[in-house]
Amino acid sequence: AQTVTQSQPEMSVQEAETVTLSCTYDTSESDYYLFWYKQPPSRQMILVIRQEAYKQQNATENRFSVNFQKAAKSFSLKISDSQLGDAAMYFCAYRSPGVYGGSQGNLIFGKGTKLSVKP
Amino acid sequence: DAGITQSPRHKVTETGTPVTLRCHQTENHRYMYWYRQDPGHGLRLIHYSYGVKDTDKGEVSDGYSVSRSKTEDFLLTLESATSSQTSVYFCAIRRTGEDGYTFGSGTRLTVV
């Protein structure tokens, strides 16, 4: 079974600085999807960025980018120019392509990293 | 927001009572999911559905049942609530052609 590990329960960054959140995963599959979700104090789960395993190019969304290392099974999130609104829980998640009715396509989450942003 | 709503948003219930949480979508998507979120555990899958009357168990399904009698509603029932089921419950949908999920706002359930 696939697993997702976030080794940093908490992180802190100064406003306007850059921070990197780590995520590793375990799988025997060659094709899959990876995600970072943000959960602010409002509790809403917000999709930040996604990566398809067959694409070598790292995904980027404005100030958010990933470092996807397929061989190392690593998927870190870099937040540039950190803002106070970036303070949240961040979850790394994995999903295999899945088949109709099968459980393989379900989203598997890490335990999360709580990010604090200092003014 | 995003066509998915959960009700209630908060609930306090007593041990041993049945509880039903509702997830409603307006977009007619086939896949729906129930997760629970607990500190130190992230989100864990309880049950999921891939169509009307088509459901299956997830990682932490003991003590829970689900029903999906129509596309737009996915109900989660705690048959006899226990304190260990105190948690935040999230419903999610997977939009056709998309890889990620869209989540509801969550239900905070407290079992006393």
In this complex, which of A33, A44, A103 lies closest to B105 when CB atoms are compared?
A: A44
Chain B, nearest residue to A10 by Cα? B40
Helix-then-strand count for chain B, H and E: 0, 11
The verdict on a CB contact (< 8 Å) between A95 and B99 is yes
What are the respective helix, strand and coil percentages of chain A, to the nearest 5?
Answer: 5, 50, 45
pLDDT value of position B28 = 87
Closest chain B C-alpha to A109 CA, distance in angstroms: 6
Tell me the mean pLDDT in the region A86-90. 98
- Per DSSP, the three-state class of A95 is strand
pLDDT value of position B2 = 61
pLDDT value of position A56 = 83
Tokens of B4: 């998915």
Q: In chain B, what are the domains?
A: 4-111 (2.60.40.10)
pLDDT of A73 over the 60 cut:
yes
The verdict on a CB contact (< 8 Å) between A106 and B90 is no
What top-level class would CATH report for the domain A3-118?
A: mainly beta
The verdict on a CB contact (< 8 Å) between B48 and A47 is no
Closest chain B C-alpha to A32 CA, distance in angstroms: 10
- Please check whether residue A37 is in contact with residue A89, taking contact to mean a CB–CB distance below 8 angstroms: no
Residue to mutate among A45, A55, A66, A89, with most B CBs inside 10 A, is: A45
pLDDT of A101 over the 60 cut:
no
Tell me the mean pLDDT in the region B27-32. 89
pLDDT value of position A102 = 52
Each domain of chain A, given as residue ranges in start order, spans 3-118
CA distances from A12 to A48, A114, B80, B97 (A): 19, 8, 41, 36
Closest chain B C-alpha to A85 CA, distance in angstroms: 18
Q: What residues in A contact B92, CB-CB < 8 Å? A: 45, 107
pLDDT-based confidence at residue B44 (cuts at 50, 70, 90): very high
In this complex, which of A47, A101, A103 lies closest to B54 when CB atoms are compared?
A: A101
The verdict on a CB contact (< 8 Å) between B48 and A106 is yes
Tell me the mean pLDDT in the region A32-60. 93
Which of A27-31, A41-45, A80-84, B101-105 comes out lowest in average pLDDT?
A27-31
pLDDT-based confidence at residue B43 (cuts at 50, 70, 90): very high
pLDDT of A40 over the 70 cut:
yes
